[in-house]
Amino acid sequence: MDPSERSTKVARFWDQTTQESFAPTTYWLANPVVHDRYQRRATAGRSRHWVNYCIEKFLAGRRPVSRMLDVGCGDGQLDRHLLLLNAAERLDAIDISAKRIDEACRIANEQGLSSIQYHVQDAEADAFPAPPYDAVIMDSALHHMEGLEAFLAKTADSLEPDGYLFLNEYVGPNRFDLSQREKDLVRACFTLIPERYRRSLQPEDEGRVLTEPWIPDPEAVAMEDPSESVRSRDIPAALLGSFEVLELHKAGGTLLHFVLQSIAGHFREEDPASMVVLRQLFAIEEALIEIGELDSHFVLVVARPKQA
């Protein structure tokens, strides 16, 4: 696909994909209990949120830094979080979707957040707005980059020598192309869920009892969004070309990402039985990652640019 055509198609997809697309009823990581567990694992039990962990540990004594960059900012939720932490005097935020940038600007204007500068940009093709930066932060943006090595080199060059890269990232199979073993384990976990918790919460088929978990078709994934997980599996190795990795924490998600799709909202603390089932799923995933039977599909990475 021609790069400009690809960029247009990706922008169109994300113009139509808003925060509502990741509802707590249907999206695994929007479930509050799953989210809390993810944050504990991402921060090795040291914080309730990965952003707080990164800023408070690695920018301690330097806040607010002069400049930060948020790549793939969407509606700006992460940017507003960073300002609450007094992370930076100026925050540049970029996204390929004009509609999402419009929404981020609207909220920022309503709240008087003048220190955030929003830009509609293709992060791979365009130069960053105003380097050098004291930190670059990405929340599930890097797995949308096809030219990983060049993009990471550009990112390293945009950082001050003592700057940081903070990544909360999916590093699982490209296009969610699960191995046969991963598919078998996803299906096995799904069979452990009682029927009353397998009723779809998707608006188009709400109430239907699901007999199979969500296992994506890689070709369909690529057709819908050409950037989705295009080279996600290569991220850990590609990072080492331009960065020194200081910390990498395995956050899990290898099974839960797929097992809980469309049914995540059934698992609520007000329903103790649902919590028993959910904790069982947690334990299975964690044990299989710990013994090396599965890789963690989601990681938190803190890195610094390699010095020449």
For residues 29 and 99, what is the distance between their CA atoms, to the nearest angstrom? 23
Q: Of 162, 168, 179, 191, which is closest to residue 259 (Cα–Cα)?
A: 191
Token couple for 211? 């007999």
Mean pLDDT over residues 57-70, rounded? 96
Arithmetic mean of pLDDT over the chain: 96
Q: What percentage of the chain carries pLDDT values higher than 70?
A: 98
pLDDT at 91: 98
Please report where in the chains the tokens 């957040």 appear, as a residue.
113
* Tokens, residue 272: 């103790």
Would you state the pLDDT for residue 171?
Answer: 98
31-57 confidence digits (pLDDT tens) = 999 999 999 999 999 999 999 999 999
Q: What percent of the chain has pLDDT over 90?
A: 91
For residue 230, is pLDDT > 80?
yes
Q: What is the pLDDT of residues 90-135, one digit of tens each?
A: 999 999 999 999 999 999 999 999 999 999 999 999 999 999 999 9
CA distances from 175 to 172, 213, 222 (A): 9, 17, 7
- The domains found in the chain, sorted by start residue, are 3-305 (3.40.50.150)
